Amino acid sequence: MDHTYAVILAAGQGTRMKSKLYKVLHPVCGMPMVEHVTGNIHQLGVEKIVTIVGHGAEKVKDQLGDMSEYALQEEQLGTAHAVQQAAPLIEGKAGTTIVVCGDTPLIRAETMQSLIDHHKETGAKATILTAIAEDPTGYGRIIRDASESVEKIVEQKDASTAEQAVKEINTGTYCFDNEALFDALKNVSNDNVQGEYYLPDVIEILQKQGEIVAAFATDSFEETLGVNDRVALSQAETFLRRRIAEQHMRAGVSIIDPATAYISAQAKIGADTIIHPNVTIEGDTVIGEDCVITSNTRIVSSTIGDRTEIRSSEVYDSTIGNDTAVGPFAHIRPQSALGNEVKIGNFVEVKKAELGTGSKVSHLSYIGDALVGSGVNIGCGTITVNYDGKNKHLTTIEDDSFIGCNSNLIAPVTIGKGSYVAAGSTISKDVPSDALAIARARQENKEGYASKLNRK
């Protein structure tokens, strides 16, 4: 059996990010960079993943949890030194090890698998993932001999004029024979300006030993992008957003303007759903089939049923059923659950409330901490008065009730099944089923009084 291992380099602080957040934890399309890398490696079915942690070690561990094992690089002394920290976990094991940087969130599982396959096919002790860069400035160049074999890697500062013209670059992702890797690491020197131990030196050591060193070129330079500052972070976000949008479109989702669709990597969207411009879909949101999500909508970690329309509204940590309409300009706050065929109209706020099938809150209302049954109609300007200054209280509105406009329901209170609340009422006591509740001052008409006022 051929064993495969993975080492993820995630110990750097990332000073160029100028941030309190450790570099590999910066999100790209809603997910930390290192989690993108780890998740893609998991798709390869490797036997063991070792993440090298340093700065922010505990936060990285908390983020990845049991997705990986961990090795601590207490002092950052270079990439070869970082890989060496994995020795207690994988040294001496026969097999193949892929080494990936934790700040390369765009690298695909398919590319890593192709690198591993090429490595095994060539019988190499080391294989470098390379790419063609239109502007290779700053990257190590791949220098090949007359037979197209890899001769050496030349860093930018050491490259001759001819070598600087080479556009094939070292991406920083490698595949090694595991035993050869750890043997070579023992011979890496820190005799350089930075006084660090560099992983590319392993390539040179293996070549001097007469071992085969191969290269596999990806056809997509952008997926090898390493994120070292906010500019590169923005570039990675742009590239990944486009990739995510294309995946959804190929699966049957219509995205009118992919350039303005912000869809998280975890989101799932059903076929024949239409996403209008300037829509943000975050977290592990699930949207069903045949939905319409109009412009200026934000949906966060929520589940939306089939044939539902969300119009210029915000939805957070909630569940919305089938054939439901929300908005425009509605706010669905966390822990809300809207059933099927529900209508939430313009300027309605729903918070920690459940609404049953066919219920409607069409205009300018606040429904918070409430259980609303099926077939309920809640008129314009209705407020569930849920807060007494210290605690929140529950309002219950049972099936088929009718709440007139401009009503205040002072919780805790229950509106019984099939009952009516007259417009303008302030309800502070339970209303029995099939009752009409009126709680407002009696109207008094003073005839001719308007003329008297006008004479003053």
Catalytic residues: 363
The string of DSSP codes covering 40-97 is: HHHTTT-SEEEEEEBTBHHHHHHHHGGG-EEEE-SS---HHHHHHTTHHHHTT--SEE
Q: Does the annotation flag 170 for ligand binding? A: yes
Q: Does the annotation flag 73 for ligand binding? A: yes
Q: Does the annotation flag 456 for ligand binding? A: no
CB 79 within 8 A of CB 104: no
SS3 state at 32: strand
Q: Does the annotation flag 333 for ligand binding? A: yes
**Structure-derived torsion over alpha carbons of residues 83, 84, 86, 88, reported in degrees to the nearest 10:** 170
DSSP letter, residue 158: G
Extract the tokens encoding 441.
């001052």
Single-letter amino acid, residue 325: A
Q: Does the annotation flag 423 for ligand binding? A: yes
CB atoms near residue 162 (< 10 Å): 9
Of 129, 103, 102, 133, which is closest to residue 118 (Cα–Cα)? 129
Q: Does the annotation flag 78 for ligand binding? A: yes
Residue 13, C-beta contacts closer than 8 angstroms, at least 6 positions apart: 22, 23, 54, 55, 56, 76
Of 352, 290, 291, which is closest to residue 319 (Cα–Cα)? 352
Residue 245, C-beta contacts closer than 8 angstroms, at least 6 positions apart: 255, 258, 261, 263
CB 378 within 8 A of CB 396: no
Extract the tokens encoding 268.
């799932």
Q: Does the annotation flag 335 for ligand binding? A: no
Extract the tokens encoding 40.
């893609």
Q: Does the annotation flag 140 for ligand binding? A: yes
Across the chain, how many H-helices and E-strands are there? Answer: 10, 39
Q: Does the annotation flag 321 for ligand binding? A: no
Report the run of H or E that residue 8 belongs to, with start and end: strand 4-10
Q: Does the annotation flag 387 for ligand binding? A: yes
Partnered with residue 396 across adjacent β-strands are 371, 414
Q: Does the annotation flag 79 for ligand binding? A: yes
Q: Exposed (0-12), middle (13-18) or buried (19+): which is 424, by Cβ within 10 Å?
A: middle
Parallel, antiparallel, or unpaired: how do β-strands 96-101 and 168-177 relate?
antiparallel
Distance CA 266, CA 310 (A): 20
Which residue ranges are tagged as binding site for UDP-N-acetyl-alpha-D-glucosamine? 9-12, 23, 73, 78-79, 140, 155, 170, 228, 333, 351, 366, 377
Which residue ranges are tagged as binding site? 9-12, 23, 73, 78-79, 103, 140, 155, 170, 228, 333, 351, 366, 377, 386-387, 423, 440
Which residue ranges are tagged as binding site for acetyl-CoA? 386-387, 423, 440
Which residue ranges are tagged as binding site for Mg(2+)? 103, 228
